[in-house]
A = this chain, B = another copy of it.
Amino acid sequence: MAMIIESVPNISEGKNKDIIEACVDQIRTTAGCTLLQYTSDPSHNRTVITYMGSAEACEEASVKLAKKAVELIDLTKHVGEHPRMGCVDVMPFIPIKEATTEDCVELSKRVGERIAKEADLPVFLYEQSASAAHRENLASIRKGQFEGMAEKVKAEQWIPDFGGQRIHPTGGVVAVGARPPLIAFNINLSTSDLTVANNIAKIIRRSSGGFDCVKAMGVMLEERNIAQVSINMTDFTKTPLYRVVELVKAEAARYGVHVVGTEIVGLCPMNALFDTAEYYLQIEDFNPAVQVIENHLL
């Protein structure tokens, strides 16, 4: 049984196919890595790459990707809706199989050190790898974006963990760290009133008193003319999917609104679905690691 780690690097290029493919090729050409998907958003001008592999393979692919991104992506010319601070903006490592958070923290530190040296890109350790509490949250690190970063790193509390008190002139800086699997989960409502989705989002998210591991906001699905609660589940082992859905149903009822459907965007770990089945079927003493046949093949 070999350790498997997932990584989801975001690069600051979402339009130029040649550059995107050249970056994705760094994963494709690394032995021991499996490319799962990559999706480019031209308006964000950003590409999200998802792959998995052994710790060694992820380390190799990460360093190669950082080098290629520094070579091809110039942040001084980058325009896009999504906030960004580096040519490769963020590089999370997620334990999938036979791997612990500690394994991913160690990997992120090895990768951070090598990227600073080999790609000349200063590195912030973030999330579970952060060197201080104020540096855990990606949004806090990224605040000011590329344009403000040269000034920001002059402050003691924002010195990069690797690569010195500076930014790369065209590549910026990158955040590298361990985190739990994130599930992008949307809940569609039987209303075209965005206020309802916004109110519910406020109730379920941590930042305004809701669940610990939920980020949420209301958005309109224009093509279906319905409002949606758009959610990032940052740790389903603490805040499970079913609990969020049930609370959304309960709060929507206040408006005579119900859930018309949900969406899992991209990938999700099997255990998030086993949790859900266990809850709704009321299964007593269920042990997926032993009782789910396919777990014996992993």
Interface residues of A (CB under 8 A from B): 4, 6, 34, 36, 52, 96-97, 181, 188, 241-242, 245, 259-264, 266-270, 273-274, 276-278, 280-286, 288, 291-298
Q: Which residues of B contact A278 (CB under 8 A)?
A: 273
In the bound assembly, the distance between CA atoms of A97 and B295 in angstroms comes to 12
Q: Which residues of B contact A294 (CB under 8 A)?
A: 96-97, 269-270, 294, 298
User: Can you tell how many copies of this chain the complex includes?
Assistant: 2
Q: Which residues of B contact A284 (CB under 8 A)?
A: 188, 261-263
Known A4-B297, A281-B242, A296-B34; judge A291-B269 contact (CB<8 A).
Answer: no
In the bound assembly, the distance between CA atoms of A177 and B4 in angstroms comes to 37
- What's the minimum C-beta distance from A5 to chain B, rounded to whole angstroms? 11
11 A-B interface contacts by CB (under 8 A) = A96-B297, A245-B280, A262-B282, A266-B291, A268-B293, A269-B292, A270-B292, A270-B294, A273-B292, A276-B281, A298-B298
Q: In this complex, what residue of B is CB-closest to A273?
A: B277
Q: In this complex, what residue of B is CB-closest to A51?
A: B296
Contact B293 A96 (CB under 8 A): yes
Contact A296 B36 (CB under 8 A): yes
Contact B263 A292 (CB under 8 A): no
Contact A242 B280 (CB under 8 A): yes
Interface of chain A, main secondary structure: mixed
Q: Which residues of B contact A268 (CB under 8 A)?
A: 291-293
In the bound assembly, the distance between CA atoms of A277 and B181 in angstroms comes to 18
Contact A298 B297 (CB under 8 A): yes
In the bound assembly, the distance between CA atoms of A277 and B245 in angstroms comes to 12
Contact A291 B267 (CB under 8 A): yes
In the bound assembly, the distance between CA atoms of A292 and B271 in angstroms comes to 9
Contact B297 A97 (CB under 8 A): yes
Contact B297 A282 (CB under 8 A): no
In the bound assembly, the distance between CA atoms of A47 and B274 in angstroms comes to 29
Contact A6 B293 (CB under 8 A): yes
Contact B97 A296 (CB under 8 A): no
The interface centre, meaning the residue of A181, A262, A288, A298 with most chain B CB atoms within 10 A of its CB, is A262
The contact of A283 among B52, B261, B282, B295, by CB within 8 Å, is B261
- What's the minimum C-beta distance from A275 to chain B, rounded to whole angstroms? 8
Contact A241 B281 (CB under 8 A): yes
In the bound assembly, the distance between CA atoms of A295 and B289 in angstroms comes to 15
Q: Which residues of B contact A34 (CB under 8 A)?
A: 296
In the bound assembly, the distance between CA atoms of A245 and B278 in angstroms comes to 12
4 closest A-B pairs (Cβ-Cβ)? A273-B277, A276-B277, A280-B280, A261-B284
Q: In this complex, what residue of B is CB-closest to A34?
A: B296
